[in-house]
Amino acid sequence: MKCEHPDCGAEADILFYCRYCGGSFCVNHRDSNMHKCSPQQKSEQTTGTSPEEAVKQFVYRAAQAAQQAQAQQQPTPVTFASEEEQKKYIEQRLVKSSGLFSLGSELVDIIFGFALIVLVFGFFQYFYREDNKWWGFLLSAVLVGTAFLPHELAHKIVAMMRGQFARYILWVRGMMFTLLTLIIGIGLIVPGFVAIVPMSKQMDKRDIGLVSLAGPATNAVIGLVSIIFGFLTHYGVIPLAGLAASPNIFILIAQFNALIALFNCLPVWQLDGAKILKWNKIIYFVLVAINVAIAIPTFILNPGFLNVT
């Protein structure tokens, strides 16, 4: 609130109300002589306004000043001419967020994240294999392309279907975890993730649960289809030869998808499992059971997983 003295205007938490002229003044100009009340004003205010009315007027003016100050502190709401303009604004803010970054378009970020994950798995395959070392990188590309990519894209598609903004973005800390995994051989491989930002409405528990469910559920579907082909090729119903047969590529795809789904179903941190469990416990345990049912026979048929020679 500001002092109403024409030569002052100082900001003050407490102002003093003058019952003669009706003004509000700081401690230096509170006296009527200091802010030059005219005798006529003093006479009119003394005869026309009771002390109780003067106090009411002061309280009213103070409340108005407080409301104006609060309104000035509130940020001006951002309006958009179209939904595309809103999406562009959200994307710009997202890219500039602390701990996140982009190499340009979302497609470039996806390709970079994909390549980094393939590099990590392919690197280990290169040293595990005694021959056909190039096959390790190709195998890694197949596994990542049938597990990581569908998982992230499923999150994005369902979020967009629920009316939300969704974009794959690279994560600085996740990149560090991924590179550390490349060095020490164990760790977290997550160079990026699908960031979801509410647009027209806030996401409720069901929205969050459905978006979280999309990823591991997609892995479960791919795993089920792959294990069917895995059994058919393993027992000779459908012929499979060459590098794709040892280990069985379909068993590996089912195995990898089940592991990715089960890891994301852990009910901790910001993983999908915690959000699904909070939304619907039955769906959560059914999803876990399906992926466990996929994983068990794949490890019976291929106990070494990627540690092959």
50 band by pLDDT with thresholds 50, 70 and 90: low
**Across all residues in the chain, what is the average pLDDT?**
80
The answer to whether residues 16 and 26 touch, using CB atoms and an 8 Å cutoff, is yes
Q: What is the mean pLDDT of residues 99-126?
A: 86
pLDDT for the residue numbered 72 = 55
Q: Helix count (H) and strand count (E) of the chain? A: 10, 5
Q: 304 versus 160: which is more confidently predicted? A: 160
Q: 290 versus 76: which is more confidently predicted? A: 290
46 band by pLDDT with thresholds 50, 70 and 90: very low
What's the CA gap between 37 and 87, in Å, rounded? Answer: 58
Lowest-confidence pick of 47-56, 158-167, 218-227: 47-56
What's the CA gap between 305 and 307, in Å, rounded? Answer: 6
Residue 112, pLDDT above cutoff 80: yes
pLDDT for the residue numbered 275 = 93
Per-residue model confidence as pLDDT tens digits over 3-40: 777 777 777 666 666 766 767 777 677 676 776 665 45
Assign residue 110 a region: left if phi > 0, alpha if psi is -120 to 50, beta otherwise?
alpha
Write out the H or E segment, with its range, that includes residue 165.
strand 165-171
Q: 124 versus 228: which is more confidently predicted? A: 228
Q: 97 versus 2: which is more confidently predicted? A: 97
- In 3D space, the residue among 152, 175, 156, 170 whose CA is nearest the CA of residue 103 turns out to be 170
What's the CA gap between 308 and 63, in Å, rounded? Answer: 76
Lowest-confidence pick of 18-32, 66-80, 159-173, 256-270: 66-80
pLDDT for the residue numbered 242 = 67
The answer to whether residues 228 and 187 touch, using CB atoms and an 8 Å cutoff, is no
Q: Pairing relation of β-strands 24-25 and 100-101?
A: unpaired
What's the CA gap between 251 and 137, in Å, rounded? Answer: 17
Lowest-confidence pick of 43-52, 64-73, 121-130, 154-163: 43-52
What's the CA gap between 102 and 116, in Å, rounded? Answer: 14
Residue 228, pLDDT above cutoff 80: yes
